[in-house]
Chain A
């Protein structure tokens, strides 16, 4: 085979893996701290998932409603997360998000404005006040482009279309990473004093998802294999509104912004079913009639929010309930209607196109539907994982020294359920912190040793799919895993199904050892798919095992065999760790006691 198992070496103080919002922000910070930074990403720069975020970035700027402040944002985040959040992270996030958003403006972001010229903020589910800074419905694009265009002048070494396969340790500490470039299929060893994982999520473990091919849980799996703890892996966010038709676009996201702008959910009988099931925790914050809901979305400060803007886990389950009870739309979803606002505002069509341009575009081009005139059909889609690498709230360091994590691949901020908009702010706040602390760690600890034998073995393993006799098609294995997870560890879970899920993952693991690919190493997606399988299988097993361990329903985790919340399980995070023999262990980690100040805030906000 050409080039065999030779490799090229690179050396940096800090290596950042992932160039979404978190990775870019971390790189910019580490570089500003004086570190020599390498930045590796699987796609071209600017194409990471962050580019797809639509609705906005949450920060208590108080520009639209001056009652907002970090304390309200903190308590909203904790309530949304059902108090399983790392409260220190929730505190730092609420306090620092405003500065991080304003900093984007300093770097050239152009967000929508209030009449007095400040950053405009919109309503979103679970946020008490209008809090999401945004640009129409392409906020993620604005954010990633701003960071990218600022970052390219910071002297970063960018490695586009490189995939990291393995982390390399020296004793306890992480000291480097092995990867390959997609273009030529050559191997590269990145030596670094500190590493930041910012690899995003795991959506490709499911069949119906808003996530791209990149989301194979690489960072989760790399950290796990390096001995780091994963936490809260049972908590996956199924976004209530994905497209359901035509089949080929099933799962593509319909932003919550549609509901924030007044869109309503109806069943096949034309009923706004969300009014029928409002959880107690949110009763006094939720409108009990349609008129009040409309007043809320048009900015009436005395009105309470419509039930369509309840947390995502709840809305998703209500939709499943409608479709299961035979009140769904023709293609197995429910109706999401924004066109009805024509009853309320003049020139509603232009208004909708202005507020939701990319949704208008998306439905027009992909489904042939004009959302200014007719309702959309929507249903739940796998969207986000709250769980991930367990990190220290202040420094973002994992349980493995020198290994940091930020963004979607880290856990903590969101607890059992993430509020919309809290991810983009998460990337900024904790991307910055991870970059800063990784740079400090790099200065303090210097270089480690890289063992050539470890590298040789890892290279051989990744080349095995070309050489083995097996007959398994890697694409087919990925499809089967997606079906398995969708059917057995999906929105509504039970023990028997999940046991089948775990057994199925095990079986696929065996078959993956026989995955074979043809062709050569240059830009060969079959090979890439085969290599991604290991990671997908690890995260799938971690999800299923964590979900089995939590015998209650909370946030993104719903079990029909334990449909209620259990106070006895309100104080721990589920932790997954690799045993020295290589098996997956699940344990319960008590949540540390909250500071008195924060307890008071939660009491006060009710």
Chain B
């Protein structure tokens, strides 16, 4: 990309229902990401433009937004990967109420997580109070623990985004969270009832949109949701699905 190119942006601004796209332009130099452009616009022409960020390196999951309509981390979206012949649009996530400009109220996610039963380890394996786990056994849950809580998967999931079922559906992030607990080699809790009733895993019809946007490349649907769905089916509906189970349960479910 030639350095010092002027690019225009359409940034969605405002609060609640009073929102509009405003046009800004700024100079883009080599290697810049969308978040850099937003910061530059803040410093040059829109000092009160609200956005979240922390790490600028894809590690904290703060800067989630929709760039040209695509849910993405602004700090990991390079300007030279975008079509710059037209204004670049930046909007907040749509599945959550807007606070201001690019900042949305994601507190619902924190409330959902809190109601999921917490980690509950088996008794230590060794008299010194420690456990033994093989690397191969921790890896499955480690995949889910890479989650940076950017909530982009929640943003694209139609159950939340289009149907607004926040009251009965926990969303892919929380299936990943539950999977991390359920597949933790030491955990002894059973979360299947919550998954079925409060978190409504049945509403997921495996469109895999969540997997596609995950910046951590967590295979949300195949590795977390489908196995959980099977466990739920197993426990509550059809004993036959036991035959098709992808993995062995690590213990007999507690009743």
Count, chain A residues at interface, CB 8 A: 67
A61 to chain B: closest residue by CB? B130
Output the residue of A110, A142, A474 with the most chain B CB within 10 A. Answer: A110
Given contact pairs A118-B132, A529-B47, enumerate 12 new A-B contacts (beta carbons under 8 Å).
A52-B60, A108-B181, A108-B187, A138-B146, A212-B55, A212-B56, A213-B53, A249-B31, A366-B31, A473-B47, A519-B47, A523-B50
The minimal Cβ–Cβ distance linking B69 to chain A, given in whole angstroms, is 20
B78 touches A102 (CB 8 A): no
Known: A365-B78, A517-B48. A252 touches B57 (CB 8 A): yes
Contact residues in A for B106 (Cβ distance below 8 Å): 44
Output the residue of B52, B106, B134 with the most chain A CB within 10 A. Answer: B52
Contact residues in A for B100 (Cβ distance below 8 Å): 522-523
B59 touches A52 (CB 8 A): yes
A106 to chain B: closest residue by CB? B121
For residue B114, CB closer than 8 A to chain A, the reply is yes
Contact residues in A for B107 (Cβ distance below 8 Å): 160
User: Chain A interface: which of B135-143, B192-200, B230-238, B240-248?
Assistant: B135-143
User: Chain B interface: which of A70-78, A240-248, A294-302?
Assistant: A240-248
Q: Can you report 11 residue pairs joining A to B where beta carbons are below 8 Å apart?
A: A112-B135, A113-B134, A141-B148, A142-B145, A149-B113, A149-B119, A183-B99, A247-B30, A366-B31, A522-B50, A524-B50
For residue A46, CB closer than 8 A to chain B, the reply is yes
Instruction: Enumerate chain A interface residues (CB-CB to B < 8 A).
Output: 43-49, 51-52, 102, 105-108, 110-113, 115-118, 120, 135-136, 138, 141-142, 145, 149-150, 152-153, 160, 183, 212-214, 245-249, 252-253, 358, 361-362, 365-367, 473-476, 479, 517-520, 522-527, 529
Contact residues in B for A518 (Cβ distance below 8 Å): 47-48
Instruction: Enumerate chain B interface residues (CB-CB to A < 8 A).
Output: 15, 29-33, 36, 42-43, 47-62, 76, 78, 99-101, 103, 105-107, 110, 113-114, 118-119, 121, 129-135, 138, 141-142, 145-146, 148-149, 181, 184, 186-187
Contact residues in A for B30 (Cβ distance below 8 Å): 246-247
B217 to chain A: closest residue by CB? A361
Q: Which of A51, A145, A362, A479 is B145 in contact with, Cβ under 8 Å?
A: A145
Per the bound structure, the CA–CA distance linking A473 and B46 in Å amounts to 11
The minimal Cβ–Cβ distance linking A362 to chain B, given in whole angstroms, is 6
B121 touches A110 (CB 8 A): no
Contact residues in B for A108 (Cβ distance below 8 Å): 118-119, 121, 181, 184, 186-187
Per the bound structure, the CA–CA distance linking A401 and B62 in Å amounts to 36
The minimal Cβ–Cβ distance linking A198 to chain B, given in whole angstroms, is 16
Known: A44-B106, A51-B60, A247-B29. A110 touches B132 (CB 8 A): no
Contact residues in A for B129 (Cβ distance below 8 Å): 102, 106
B59 touches A138 (CB 8 A): yes
A46 to chain B: closest residue by CB? B149
A117 touches B133 (CB 8 A): yes
Per the bound structure, the CA–CA distance linking A117 and B124 in Å amounts to 13
A138 to chain B: closest residue by CB? B146
